[in-house]
Amino acid sequence: MAEGSAFVFPGQGSQIVGMGRAVYEGSAHARETFEEADRVLGYELSRLCFEGPNEALDDTTLAQPAVLTTSVAILEALVESVNGKLGRRVTEGHEPRGVAALPPALRPRFVAGHSLGEFTALVAAGVLTFSEALRLVAERGRLAASRGAKGAMAAIVGLSAHEVDRVIAETLPVGSAVVANDNGPAQVTIAGDSESIARVTEALAKHGARKVIPLRISAPFHFPDMGRIGPDLAAFMRTLQWREPVVPIVANVSALPHPNASAIPDALVRHLSNRVEWLRSVRYMAERGASTFVEIGAGQVVNGLVKRIADVKLVNVSDPSSIAGALASLRERAGLTAAHP
């Protein structure tokens, strides 16, 4: 099978003060993305991303739109750079956004997002417009904060999901804590009520966990109790227009591509309470020809997980200087010369 790429997008926890500022200053399309976010949300999300404070960026209702917007802005800056170098207009009039705006040879074989990053993947693949995804993520965060589960999340390093499941079952009542993200062979995220997370992290340390890292979140996602906001989220999603993806989107809940656009809203409801199957998702993409993983967003959180799962080339795109390197790598993998679009 010919080699290809996967574009992957980070979720909550990747946010840092200053994210997106460099592409905002260097790319007209990135600047338009941040300006659109400010208009849609009715507050200066751009200032929050660029100036903080950290405490605000860690609030779920603000962090989720901020992470989505930053990743979409960086993707738009990458696309703008590609087409600028090729002297290429994609269409006359309304131009497609996301990966549809790339020359076919440079489009990824798959897109996927880690947890919240799945919403960025929907924008990248053309399923939702940026404005629709932004309103959806803002509503998801509002519902989670007002009526969702309360509790905590923590990253566990040094144990597999199977091992953590066993310790949770031995330590806690059923449903009080779960493995929320299967991030790799020896890294998982757990979610639950705060008291249960405190109890089980002590037990996990005794069973060989090398690190226990509390996560900067204000609500536990991928946790059964968060499913209580599912009906309200589903009702909101019925107001949106869902388009067929231009490239396959590997779903967190199944580690398989969404079969069609109409199946995606239900998967996103299950996404609230079901485990993020990141280990299986990365293996699925790598086994089907994705030999280069391009993380698009603030930092290198996702590719830090990917490198422990698959033997693939890792590329990070977070600012204008990294866009040039990413483009060179993608062209090389696609077998393109400088004169070939």
Tell me the pLDDT tens digit for each residue of 54-104. 999 888 899 999 999 999 999 999 999 988 765 555 444 455 689 999 999
Tell me the pLDDT tens digit for each residue of 224-262. 999 999 999 999 999 999 999 999 999 999 999 999 999
Q: Which residue has the tokens 């990743």?
A: 71
CATH number of this structure's domain 4-147+226-333:
3.40.366.10
Q: What is the dihedral of CA 202, 207, 208, 213, to 10 degrees?
A: -30
**Catalytic position from the list 71, 115, 176, 218:** 115
Give the 3-state secondary structure of residue 179.
strand
Cβ within 8 Å of residue 308, ≥6 positions away: 184, 185, 186, 187
Domains of the chain, by residue range, sit at 4-147+226-333, 152-217
DSSP per-residue letters across 61-73: HHHHHHHHHHHHH
**Catalytic position from the list 222, 258, 271, 273:** 222
Confidence of residue 340 (pLDDT cuts 50, 70, 90): very low
Q: How many helices (H) and strands (E) does the chain have?
A: 14, 8
pLDDT over threshold 50, residue 165: yes
Answer for the pair 299, 15: CB distance below 8 angstroms, yes or no: no
**pLDDT for position 87:** 52
pLDDT mean across residues, the chain: 92
pLDDT over threshold 80, residue 315: yes
Q: Which residue has the tokens 């968060």?
A: 226
Q: What is the dihedral of CA 19, 25, 29, 34, to 10 degrees?
A: 50
| Backbone angles phi and psi of 249, in degrees to 5 | -110, 115
Ranges 9-23, 31-45, 110-124: which has the least confidence: 9-23
CATH number of this structure's domain 152-217:
3.30.70.250
| Backbone angles phi and psi of 191, in degrees to 5 | -140, 150
208 token code pair: 């060989």
- Active-site residue, 115 included: yes
Q: Which run of H or of E encompasses 112?
A: strand 110-113
DSSP per-residue letters across 259-321: SSGGGHHHHHHHHHHS-B-HHHHHHHHHHTTEEEEEEESSSSHHHHHHTTT---EEEEE-SHH
Angle separating helix axes 130-147 and 117-124, nearest 10 degrees: 160
**245 φ/ψ sector (left φ>0, alpha ψ -120 to 50, else beta):** beta
pTM (2 decimals)? 0.94
pLDDT over threshold 70, residue 111: yes
Q: How far is the CA of 186 from the CAs of 25, 58, 183, 266, 280, in angstroms?
A: 39, 26, 8, 30, 13
Tell me the pLDDT tens digit for each residue of 174-230. 989 999 999 999 999 999 999 999 999 999 999 999 999 998 787 899 999 999 999
* Amino acid letter, residue 130: F
